Structure formats: C-alpha cells, structure tokens
Chain A
C-alpha cells in the first residue's frame, strides 16, 4: 500500500521581477512510495528535490497534480486540515533546525504541545524518544552545547515525537562528517525497521542512497529521469545523470584517459559485461569464451555490493581470430548484458 502518491505534480514559482517568467521547480512528477520503504530522491542542487519533498507535507502547495499522503489528498486542502496532516509526517533537515532558545526537552515537547498531547504525558514520551536516539543524558542541554551528530539525533527524536508514519529527510547527513553520517544512517535504519516508519530522503550523496535506501528516484530539471530498486539502478544506470551519480561511488567504468592507457597495454577488442546477482555465473561466460578459442583478460572493474545484492561491471580485453571473437561476443551477449567499449 502506498503511503505517498504523487501524480503529475507541477510546482511553479512566480518569477522575480516584472517580466520574469515562472520557474517550474517540479515538472510533472509521478512517484509512489510504499509503506515501510526507504525511498531516496537524488539530484544536483536546483533539480527540484527540495521542493518535491516539501510538496509531501504541503509546506509548498502544488500548482497542479495530485499529492496523496496517508490516503489524504493534500492539493486544495484548507490550511487547518493540512496542519493535522503535517502532524503525521515528520521532517528532519540538513541544518537540524532545532529551537536554540529551548532545551532538548523543550524541543521534543514542542511537537507534542502542537499535537495537543497533555503535558503530564510529555515526560514519559520524551524519555522514550531520548533513549531511542541514545541521548538520555542530554535532556537539559541546549542545542548549542551538542555536536552535529547529537543535534541530528535530537532532530530525529523531535520528528518522531508524534509517531508519524512518514519521515522526510532533507539532506539529513550532508552537514555531518563520514563517521557521524554512518551513525545517523544506522539510526534512520532503525527508525525504518523497528518503528516501521516510511522514509523519503533527499540527498546528493550516492553513498547514503547505497547504504540506506531501498528505492531511488533521480531528478533533473524538475523531472524524475530514472527510478527503480537501488541495486538495479546502481548495477545498470540508464540515464546520463544517474551514471554520473553512480560513478561517484561505484568506480567500475574506466574513463577515457584510463581507457587509452589500458588499450596501450592490452590488445584486442574491449567489451564490458554486466553481471547481476548470481543469475549468470561468470564461469559460464568464461567457458563460452574458451570454447571459441578466445583469450581474455580482465582489465577493469570489480564486484560491488548494494544491500544484500551484488553486481559486477567487468571490462574484458578479448584476443583471438576476428571471426572467433565475434562469435564469442554473440554468444556471451545472450548470457549477460554486453557492451562493446569504444
């Protein structure tokens, strides 16, 4: 069952200045996030992902299209009801956005007060939340006395205070160092697994996508250009933008410069083979090459793991009689995805 369902959503901002035309930040996006899923939206700055995530809790109102969250259509809903809807959607931020004038306790009490939770229940709930995020001893600290990682933990605890079904994470780890990022990602994984909270996260860090997300949408110029299961997208990115993103963490394609070096070292035709999981064994491929009397050498690539799945993009140099090599290539192309490297 889908928790978030966007259909043909458009968001335009009026242009600044008298003659400026409207800016279309989100341009006809359709997107479904299933219950219990961790869905990542990646894109460069200005791709529209920040706006898109704010359409989900109606901090921005869609210009057209439909935004359904927890079964409620948000487009056209009056502000008063939107406030009700927002209480079921948590949100965390790159800059944490904690209330500097309140203690950690005060920060966590705020959403409870807004949701009308009686004051005598605050203490118990806040203690639960602080234990969950591992900050039980920081209740009376002020945000400026906490480290970045601790601040984000408070942010997460605050976002979870009213038991939301969906958590929106806006570049939640982009301001953190790698170590702290890992801790926060672990915490988000627990939020998803133990509490069953659906997470929609936006990021420009593919490492975050790889470590945390189940599914991913790639955005460019306000449009979703690619979407799929994370392992599939990593193994076989279709769009140029996706390839650039995947390339930042999976280094399995030699760039032109390196390719020239490799060609100097190895003779023969270069082909790239994409293996996914264990559906085709590498030995099957190598056997086929052997049968055709084609010598081969692995010149670049490796095996990558995304979640529990593995995939490999291997670049091979094939040596032998031209006809034999062609026949081998034809046979192997029937087994795995094969691409001639120009």
Chain B
C-alpha cells in the first residue's frame, strides 16, 4: 500500500463515535454553563466599569481604577496558563482542581473578564443624552441602568456575547490540561497523538459547526433586536 491509501484507511474513527458524542456533549455543557455564568458576571463587571468611569452614573474614579486594573491583570494571561494558575481557587470554590467542574470554573472567570471589556465597550455607544433624558424624568440611577442603558445597547451586546461565545469554545479546547474533556481534548488524545488526522478533523469540523451555528443565531437575534 502506498502512503496515500494508508492515510485514508488507517483511522479508528468508526469505533470512536461514542467518544465523539461524549466529547461534543462535554464541550456544549462547559461552554453553555460558562456563557450563562461568565456572561452574567461579565455583564455586571462591565456595567460596573462603565458606570464608575468619569461621567458615568456612579462616577467613582478609585473604584474604576481598581476594576480596570483587575481586568487588565487577568485578561492577558493565556488560558492554558490561567487554567492551571486558578486551580487552587477552583479547589476552594468547586471542591476540585481537575475535571469538567474545574474547567468550567476557570472558563467562567476568564470569560467574565473578557465579557466585562466587551460590555464596557458596547455601552459607550449609548448616547449620554438618552441617559440624561431618563434622569430628567425622575428615574433612579438603578432604573436608568436596567431600563435604558442596557436595552439601548442590546443589539451590540448580543453581538458581543456571540463573539465571546466563540472565544469560549476556543478556550474550552485547552480543558485537557486539567483532564477536562471535550472536543479539544478528544482531538488531541485520539487524533493528534495517534497521528489519526481523520479523528482530528472530525473534532475540528464539529467545533467549526458549533461556532457557525452560534454566530448565525447571534446575528439573527441582533438583527431582531436592532430591527434591521
């Protein structure tokens, strides 16, 4: 047999399908839990950044500097290092330093800092005049935040969260470092390390499919919100 037919035939994919589905399930679980938890925390942190900035509804320079420094401290850490570095914290919070739970913990933290920045940037698009109009009607700052600031920025926020989702899918592939499972781990274990490119590409295509579907859903939702 020549090399080409060897590559084409020599794959264990047919017997690995159960593992493929399991890995897909793990990835979807990790990513969706992260999106919900990290999304909520990131939204809060992003709002805090925006509101404490100079000219914000709760303008407070020391608070802003503190939060800003915190976000800047964690954001540049590569996730492959971050996931290991927060292991002690994971043990404290979720009781275990390895496995899916620990991965979700690390992903959620990383997503929170990333989403906070995305939220902060999107909120800038809301005109200060609209905020002022609501304040002039006698709305409280909290009410203005919830009923004007966030709804007015909803379109860009949906797109921002879609962007974050894709980045989380990307980051989740590193879960294998702390025995986290998912498609990334699967592709490394059964594909890359076994020189089985069919398996590698199966995992890759599934990840691509997840990303495509998420982007499509995000775009549709944003269009609905923006009425375009």
A residues apposed to B, CB below 8 Å: 57, 59, 79, 83-87, 89-91, 93, 95, 97-102, 110-111, 114-115, 142, 158, 162, 168
Are B138 and A84 within 8 A (Cβ)?
yes
A111 contacts which chain B residues (CB < 8 A)?
137-138
- Chain B residue numbers with a CB within 8 Å of A114 are 134, 137-139, 143
Choose among B127, B130, B137, B148 the residue that contacts A86 (Cβ–Cβ < 8 A). B137
Q: How far is the CB of A93 from chain B (nearest CB, A)?
A: 6
Q: A83, A97, A102, A115: which contacts B132 (Cβ < 8 A)?
A: A97
The CA of A142 and the CA of B139, in the complex, are separated in Å by: 22
Known: A59-B132, A93-B133, A110-B134. A100 touches B139 (CB 8 A): no
Which A residues touch B225, using CB under 8 A? Answer: 101
Q: Find chain A residues with CB under 8 A from B151 CB.
A: 99, 101-102
Chain B residues within 8 Å of A102, by CB? 151
Main secondary structure of the interface of B (DSSP, over half): helix
CB pair A87–B152 under 8 Å, yes or no, is: no
Of B129, B136, B140, B143, the residue contacting A89 (CB under 8 A) is B136
B224 at the interface (CB under 8 A from A): no
Q: Which residues on B are within 8 Å of A, measured CB to CB?
A: 127, 129-130, 132-140, 143, 147-148, 151-152, 154, 225, 227
Measured CA separation A227–B143 after assembly (Å):
39
B133 interface neighbour in A83, A89, A91, Cβ under 8 Å? A91
Bound-state Cα–Cα, A214 to B143, Å? 37
- Closest residue of chain B to A91 (Cβ to Cβ) is B136
B148 and chain A: residue at smallest CB distance:
A99
CB neighbours (8 Å) of A85 from chain B are 138
Q: Are B154 and A93 closer than 8 Å at their CB atoms?
A: no
- Residues of A close to B135: CB separation below 8 A: 59, 86
Query: Smallest distance from the beta carbon of A74 to chain B beta carbons, Å?
Result: 13
Within 8 Å by CB of B137, from A93, A101, A110, lies: A110
C-alpha gap A310/B213 in the complex (Å): 72
- A93-B129, A142-B227 known; A99-B136 Cβ under 8 A: no
- Is the Cβ of A99 less than 8 Å from the Cβ of B138? no
Closest 4 CB pairs of A and B: A97-B133, A86-B138, A87-B138, A97-B129
Given contacts A95-B129, A99-B148, A101-B154, contact A83 B134 (CB under 8 A): no
